[in-house]
Amino acid sequence: MILRKILPPTHAVVVYLYFFVFFTFHRALSSVVALSYAHAICNRIPGLAPRQRTICLSHPDSMAAAGQGAKLAFEECSYQFRLHRWNCTITDNTAGRTSPLAAQHTIASKEAAYTSAIRSAGVSYIITQACSQGSIMSCGCDKTKGDTSNAFSSEWKWGGCSADIKYGLTFSRLFLDSKEVKEDERALMNLHNNRAGRKAVKSQMDTQCKCLGVSGACTIKTCWTTLPGFRSIGDHLKQKFTKAKQVVPLQSSRTRNPEFLHLKRLKSLHRKPRKADLVYLKRSPSYCEKDEGIGSLGTTGRLCNRTANSYNNCDLMCCGRGYNTHQYTRTWQCDCKFHWCCHVTCDECTELTEEYTCK
């Protein structure tokens, strides 16, 4: 340690220097706690913007949930695009020096738009869920929907513990949007898509109602807001993906940086894109060939289906390169019978099947 080199002078100086080093090195003494894992980890996660790092240090539990959200988003994205050429891989050109949470596509394509949106949706979703489950210190049930007000006049009232979607959306906005420090068109696109993702979560929130009471007469229902399954959000964003709009940045007269994004249309009407739509700047590459520069892994080795009518048809998936057929015998257990007592015997069925992978 540094201390060993300073040891020769008198003890008083040693102690003073030790104290000095100690206090400057561990800056988080402003709070009662000096050290914790959060300090060590947050300072070492690559690719975080300064504001993101501050949020990580002050809310480590929310950070953990945000990471879970990003992972959920990645899994959902992989599911939604499992039959497409691009199956939700992100390769950016920072050579592994960015964490997957903050990674960004090289080309501002539709796929980049989907990635931003689903990531922002995933973070909001998991944070809201973690709030209801009590694993985040700074949030809980939605307080605005907690108390039963005195004056009743409607058919329903709020009750119980509603999911605190506001906290989830706010955290997602503060955390993910603070990554966009540059003020260029890519940042505008990312901010728009983040917002689209958050809107998707908000729009899919359910309100469940139930008549609580002994008689079947349901005069006033008690309602809660609940989170849907994440699959519905993934589906919703996939639809937005197919109808994503291309945009161009518009300079405003005073500043050098672009201020708005406008739809690129052949007609000359300049219109802003809808807040719930996904936007992109450049057309997507074909993702057929492997090209690290544009972030494509190519389709070599992907499974395809010879007879399917969709994107994973072997002609489309393999981009005309052809496919390898792999024949193998598939065995599985069939005709299982339960014998009293208590074991199960099964037969083994075999089948000759073929598997096709792109060249």
Partner 1 sequence: FFSAGDVCCRPSGSSQCTAVCRAIFIQNSLPTSSQSRMIESVCEQSVAQCVHNYTELNPPTSLREGLLCCDHSDNLTCQRKCRRALEVHTREEDIVDMISEHCGLPNAMEPLWQCFLRSSTNTIRRHEYTYGGRIEMTGVDGAKLQCCAKAVTPGCRQLCVKVSGTLLFTQDYNGSIQTYSRWTTSVRFHDECTYHPRERDLNRCLEEVAEPCELGCSNLSFCSNFNYRPTEMFRRCDPEADDMAKKTAQIWSQGAISLPLILPYDIPVRDIRTCHPEVWKAIACTLQIKPCHQAVRATWICRSDCLSILGDCLDYARLPFGLTAADICQRLSPHDSTLPCISLSKYLIPSEHISVHHEVTQPCSSNPCSASQICMVSRRKCRNPGKCPLYTCKSGCAMGEVLSHLVPHKSYVRLPKATDRQLQCHRVCKCGHHNMLHKCSEMECQEERACVVSYNRIHSHGSKFLVGCNKCSCYEGEVTCTQRHCPYHASTEIYTGLPCNCDRQYAPVCAHNGRTYPNACVAKCLGLTDLQIASGQCYDQHPCQPNPCEPLQKCLPKRRICLDITSEDCSQYECAHLDNGCRKQKHSTVCNGTHDFPSACVLMQHRQKLAYREHCMSGCQSSGVVCGINGETYSSECAAWADGVLLDYLGKCSAAGHLTNAFSQNWSCSNVICPNNSLSIICKPFVPPGACCPICAGEIRVLYSQTAIQKAAQLTSSPVSIADIRRILHHHIMVLECDLFAYLGIEGDLIIHVVPVVRSATPLQLEACRKESEKIGSLIISSSPTLTSHVVLATFIAAEMHL
289, 296 Cβ separation under 8 angstroms: yes
Give CA angle at 57 (90, 69), nearest 5°.
Answer: 40
Spell out the residues 6+ positions from residue 16 whose beta carbon is closer than 8 angstroms to its own.
Answer: none
At residue 324, the 3 state secondary structure works out as: strand
Exactly one of 78, 94, 144, 148 binds partner 1 (CB under 8 A); that residue is 148
252, 182 Cβ separation under 8 angstroms: no
| CA atoms of 56 and 45, how far apart (whole Å) | 10
9 binds partner 1 (CB under 8 A): no
1, 18 Cβ separation under 8 angstroms: no
Exactly one of 9, 20, 27, 35 binds partner 1 (CB under 8 A); that residue is 35
121, 173 Cβ separation under 8 angstroms: no
Exactly one of 137, 308, 346, 349 binds partner 1 (CB under 8 A); that residue is 137
20 binds partner 1 (CB under 8 A): no
152 binds partner 1 (CB under 8 A): yes
Least distance from partner 1 to the Cβ atom of residue 312, Å: 24
22 binds partner 1 (CB under 8 A): yes
279-280 and 245-251 as β-strands: parallel, antiparallel, unpaired? Answer: parallel
Closer Cβ to partner 1, 34 or 346, answer by number: 34
Exactly one of 132, 172, 284, 296 binds partner 1 (CB under 8 A); that residue is 132
135 binds partner 1 (CB under 8 A): yes
146 binds partner 1 (CB under 8 A): yes
Closer Cβ to partner 1, 32 or 341, answer by number: 32
Which range of residues in 106-114, 135-143, 283-291, 303-311 is near partner 1 by CB under 8 A? 135-143
Give CA angle at 118 (114, 119), nearest 5°.
Answer: 115
Closer Cβ to partner 1, 29 or 346, answer by number: 29
**Residue 341 CB coordination number (10 Å):** 5
Least distance from partner 1 to the Cβ atom of residue 279, Å: 26
Footprint (CB under 8 A) of partner 1, residues 87-106: 99-101
Which range of residues in 148-156, 197-205, 235-243, 272-280 is near partner 1 by CB under 8 A? 148-156
| CA atoms of 2 and 6, how far apart (whole Å) | 7
98, 46 Cβ separation under 8 angstroms: yes
140 binds partner 1 (CB under 8 A): yes
Overall residue count recorded for the chain in this entry: 359
Exactly one of 44, 182, 243, 337 binds partner 1 (CB under 8 A); that residue is 44
Structure tokens at 348: 């083994």
Work out the burial of residue 205: count CB atoms within 10 Å of its CB; fewer than 13 is exposed, 13-18 middle, 19 or more buried.
Answer: middle
Least distance from partner 1 to the Cβ atom of residue 1, Å: 6
Least distance from partner 1 to the Cβ atom of residue 149, Å: 7
Exactly one of 9, 20, 27, 29 binds partner 1 (CB under 8 A); that residue is 29
Least distance from partner 1 to the Cβ atom of residue 30, Å: 12
Footprint (CB under 8 A) of partner 1, residues 270-329: none
**Order of strands across the sheet that contains 258-263:** 258-263, 245-251, 279-280
Exactly one of 9, 20, 27, 34 binds partner 1 (CB under 8 A); that residue is 34
216 binds partner 1 (CB under 8 A): yes
Closer Cβ to partner 1, 47 or 249, answer by number: 47
- Residue 94: what residue type? T
